[in-house]
Amino acid sequence: MKITKFISLTIFFIAAYQFVGLAQPVINFPEGAGYDWGKVKPGQNPLTGKILIRNIGKDTLKISRVQPSCGCTSAPLTKYSLLPNETTELMVTLNISSYEGNIEKYIDVYSNDPTSPQKRLTLMANIERLIKVEPSSFVSFMQMTVGESQTQSIQIKNYSNRDVEVSIKDFSPKDLRLSWQTARTLKKGESYPLEISINAQNPGIIKGKITVATDDPDFPEVPIFIFGDVKPSPIFIGN
C-alpha cells in the first residue's frame, strides 16, 4: 500500500512539474535574431528596421529591458508584455554618420523567459564611403602644452565616379585654423590636402569635429574627428 501511494505521489509530482514547465514564456524572433542592412551609403543615414518578437510559450512574456550596445542605436519597443502567441515589433534605428566599412552593433533583450533571460540581437551593415579622409578621419593633437601650436595634414580623396564639390560646413573647437573653407571641386580620383592647426590656450582635453559637406547626395557629409590633450605650461606651475 505504501509503495502504491509512493508511486502515485511520484507520478503526481512529475506531472505537476511537466505542467509547470510547459506553462512558461518563451521568447522567439520569427524573422531572425538581428537585422542586416547589407551595403549602404552615408546618405541613407539613419538606418531603420524592425525586429519581430513573439511569445511561443504558454505563459505571459514580460520584457523588462532593451539595452543597445552604444549610443548610435535606439530600439524602442511597441509592447513589453506578450500573451502566448502574441507578437510585438522592436523598431531599430542605427546612426552610421561616423562609420565606414563593416560594422556590428548589439541589442540585449531581457525578459522573464526562464531558459533565455537575456537574448542578444546583432545589427550589421557595410557602410560604403567614396569620399574619404586619408590617412584617417581621426586627427590627434597629443601632449601639447599651453601656448604651443601644432599642425596636422590630411587628404580628402574622391573615389567616386564623378566630380564632387566639397566645402567646410562646420567645425569645432572654433580656435581651429583650417587651410581652406571655401568650396572647391574634387575631380574623380583626385585628392586635396587640408591642414588643421590649433594653438593651445587652456589646459585640458581637446575634442571636436570638422564636417566636410559635398554635393553628392549619397555622400553628403564627411566627418573628421578632433581630439588631444593640453598640459599646463611649466612656466606657470607653482606660481
Q: What is the pLDDT of residues 86-115, one digit of tens each?
A: 999 999 999 998 898 999 999 999 999 999
Please state, in angstroms and rounded to a whole number, the distance separating the CA atoms of residues 29 and 112.
15
Could you tell me if 163 and 188 are in contact, meaning their C-beta atoms sit under 8 angstroms apart? yes
Nearby residues of 88 by Cβ (< 8 Å), 6 or more positions away:
52, 53, 77, 78, 79, 80, 82
The whole-model pTM stands at 0.76
The whole-angstrom separation of Cα 204 and Cα 228 is 9
**Residue 116 DSSP SS3:** coil
Cell of 224: 573628421
What domains can be seen in the chain, in order of their start residue? 27-127 (2.60.40.10), 131-231 (2.60.40.10)
Q: Please give the residue that has the higher pLDDT: either 41 or 11.
A: 41
Strands 118-127 and 34-40, by their bridges, are parallel
Reported as a pLDDT band with limits 50, 70 and 90, residue 22 is: low
